[in-house]
Amino acid sequence: MKFHHYTLDDCHEATGIVLVIDVLRAFSTAAYAFSRGAKEIRLVSGIQEALDLKAQIQNAKAMGEVGGLPPEGFDFGNSPTRILEHDLTGIILIQRTGAGTQGAVRAVNAEVMLATSFVNAKGTMDYVMKEEPNELSFIITGGMGNDEDVACAEFIEMRIEGRAVEAQSFIDRVYAARDALQHMEEHPQFPLSDLDYSSRIDAFDFALPIERKNGSLIMQAVKP
């Protein structure tokens, strides 16, 4: 299989099956939100867009960050630890982040698109392999310097190719990543436990496909 890598700058060129990766923390948080009963997640690029959509949809709440912190009017931030504190049964979440959701919004030429992180790596891979693709594209939403996102792409590539994977080395890369540094300081929106939750490889057996419906990007949890 041939693999391609994109960033937010050129992800509009990605075609076919596209995995949008954000380990710390958008799509890890999204996966945990589904584990708490969320019905669906709608992805947007702007703060006001998120708030407007929240006002239009019954039983909706806004989730995400700007500079790592939840904007005014948002119900939740971008933390797996914090999202696990809530019962989200039946809730529609509107998610806006600085990296993950931007990649999904900008990947306008993707035919199949999935939100990806370590916690749903196997579910994502199983979903992809059912499509029997010859090529697979990864969007490294934090940029190629974001080693935790690069590591996730490499992890999935190695497993698809049947190569031996030493899981701990990839977990270590999450903890050593540039974006992990903020978790070393005491802050309610950056709990250290987020690193643990975000590096729990295959914590969930579902994939997170993102579909375009009536102008919206809608993510749901689907078991392959």
Predicted confidence at residue 161, as pLDDT, reads 96
Check: CB of residue 138 under 8 Å from CB of residue 19: yes
Per-residue pLDDT of 15-40, as tens digits, reads: 999 999 999 999 999 999 999 999 99
User: CB-side exposure of 119: number of CA atoms within 13 Å?
Assistant: 27
What whole-number distance in Å separates Cα of residue 217 and Cα of residue 208?
12
What is the CATH code for 2-219? 3.90.1560.10
DSSP, collapsed to helix, strand or coil, labels residue 112 as strand
DSSP states of 194-216 as a string?
HHHHHT-TT----BEEEEEETTE
Computed over every residue of the chain, the mean pLDDT equals 96
What whole-number distance in Å separates Cα of residue 196 and Cα of residue 174?
9
**What percentage of the chain has pLDDT greater than the value 90?**
93
Minimal CA–CA distance to 22: which of 33, 2, 8? 8
Provide the whole-model pTM. 0.97
Per-residue pLDDT of 155-214, as tens digits, reads: 999 999 999 999 999 999 999 998 998 887 778 889 999 999 999 999 999 999 999 999
Q: How far is CA 26 from CA 41, 80, 165, 171, in A?
A: 11, 9, 24, 17
Minimal CA–CA distance to 26: which of 216, 159, 178, 179? 179
Predicted confidence at residue 183, as pLDDT, reads 82
Confidence label for 102 from pLDDT (cuts 50, 70 and 90) = very high
Check: CB of residue 173 under 8 Å from CB of residue 199: no
Predicted confidence at residue 89, as pLDDT, reads 98
Specify the amino acid at residue 189. Answer: Q
Predicted confidence at residue 185, as pLDDT, reads 76
Using H for helix, E for strand and C for coil, what is the string for 119-180? HHHHHHHHHHHHCCCCEEEEEECCCCCCHHHHHHHHHHHHHHCCCCCCHHHHHHHHHHCHHH
CA dihedral 82, 78, 181, 102 (to 10 degrees): 170
Cβ partners under 8 Å of residue 206, min gap 6? 31, 34, 120, 123, 221, 222, 223, 224
Predicted confidence at residue 145, as pLDDT, reads 85
Check: CB of residue 219 under 8 Å from CB of residue 208: yes
Q: Is the pLDDT of residue 86 over 90?
A: yes
Surface-to-core class of residue 165, CB atoms within 10 Å of its CB (0-12 exposed, 13-18 middle, 19+ buried): middle
Q: Is the pLDDT of residue 94 over 80?
A: yes
Domain segments of the chain as ranges: 2-219
